[in-house]
Amino acid sequence: MKALLEKIDPIFGSSFTIREFTDLDPVYKPFWHFHPEYEIVYISKGKGKRHIGNHISYYEDGDLIFLGPNLPHLGFTEGHFKDQVEIVLQMKEDFLGKGFLQAPEMRDIQHLFERSRKGLIFNGATREKIGQRLREMVRMEPFERMLALLQVLHFLASTDECNSLNADGFALEVQAQHLDRMQEVYHYVEAHFKQEVSLEEAAKRANMTVPAFCRYFKRITGKTFTHLVNEVRIAHACRLLNDEHMSIAAVCFDSGFNNLSHFNKQFKLVVGASPRAFRHNLKQIVE
């Protein structure tokens, strides 16, 4: 499947685009893509995967992210959940006119745009407040919508409820040939991570020899192919650990690992905590 440069046209009468999707809309298969626009995505509920540049993680109970331009990513929802709403807002850096962000009053927003190039996630009250505002913006008149967007950006620029996804490595590598190859590789890993994942098969899908593929993959992503496979498996394991009825051994094997000791070691390398400690922290957050 060919990776796409997504073409985004502003909605009529507006300098940016904002779209709303609900659980009644058809579910489209996520595809690996990029675009020169900045993007804010709000998901009101449900769970899914963030795969942005070289960053992979799961979210639970909704999400609010801000992505900079030309940062390749997959769609973020894994099917629709009942009463789920997803808002996608996309804008170019000069949507307010060339030089507008250089105005002294826009200094904080300019800094927000700079930080978004590595991907930002917002949580807590910020996610709920901005999510509600974005839902209201969908039905506003163009001028009112523009003012509301400036308020949203100002709030996001000033809140402390924000973390960087540190999605490094891909923003500079957006040529079509790279994305074609990487999408084929990612689709292969996503479809087979619960079973054996073959380096030879990944290289074949990239139309490269194994040594050339290993060098290429490390140059493009900053990590080895094995590290990527482990990250995908660990991200899946993080989601399963939310189910307290599943044993850690069961999580291990369902995530594609065939050795519990190896799973524990890789999990701690990627997450920074053991699976047991990670589950304990999840339980404390819920309670």
Q: 3-class DSSP state for residue 157?
A: helix
Q: Are 109 and 157 in contact (CB under 8 A)?
A: yes
CATH 2.60.120.280 fits 4-164, yes or no: yes
Confidence check: pLDDT of 9 > 60: no
Beta bridge partners, 56, equal 51
Q: Are 222 and 169 in contact (CB under 8 A)?
A: yes
| pLDDT tens digits, one per residue of 179-209 | 677 778 888 988 899 999 999 999 999 899 9
pTM for this structure? 0.68
CATH of 176-286 among 3.50.50.60, 2.102.10.10, 1.10.10.60, 2.60.40.420: 1.10.10.60
**What would the two tokens of residue 226 be?**
């094995």
pLDDT confidence bin for 45, thresholds 50/70/90: confident
* CA-CA-CA-CA dihedral for 65, 129, 46, 182, to nearest 10: -10
Task: Indicate the domain borders of the chain.
Answer: 4-164, 176-286
Distance CA 135, CA 142 (A): 14
Kind plus residue range of the DSSP H or E element containing 188: helix 176-192
| pLDDT tens digits, one per residue of 84-99 | 889 999 998 888 888 8
**What would the two tokens of residue 219 be?**
């140059």
**What would the two tokens of residue 137 be?**
């913006």
Confidence check: pLDDT of 132 > 70: yes
Distance CA 253, CA 260 (A): 8
Kind plus residue range of the DSSP H or E element containing 168: none
C-alpha Rg value of the chain to the nearest Å? 20
